[in-house]
Amino acid sequence: MEKHERHRFLDRLRGGSTLGAEMADTVEVDGTTVDLTALVFELRDLDAVPERERERVDDLLGHLRRERIARRRRIEEADITAEEGEALAAEVIGLDRAINALESLDDASYGEQARRSHVEGHKEFLGLVNQLR
């Protein structure tokens, strides 16, 4: 792969955009295939990741990050073709999408965030009123 092609792939990864990117469907973790799509769909509608699943999700996130780094390094350093570089870049973006999806599992919906913010504002206000009494 030519130097300018390598830089093009790395620039694409540096942008960090996963908008419209396909999430990696599965990932191999310690010899076991994990269905990422099923896991994310299973957990996304819950208010928070259950404690029994938290360790599994955290371990999976660590594995996905290591896989991302390994693929990026191959693009940076390995003697690969442009086609292999393109495939690796697509895999990295898919891993980024999966990482983002797993990291956002605990994020509340916009409506829930607005409600919490509203409640916190009222609590602060009542605290100030109580201090003035």
Write the CB contacts of 36 (distance below 8 Å, at least 6 apart in sequence): 23, 24, 25, 26, 27, 60, 98, 101, 102
Confidence (pLDDT) at 110: 45
39-80 pLDDT, tens digit each: 777 777 776 778 888 888 888 889 889 988 999 999 999 999
- Residue position matching structure tokens 């938290």: 54
Rg (CA), the chain: 21
Max CA distance (Å), the chain? 74
> To the nearest whole number, what is the mean pLDDT of the chain?
79
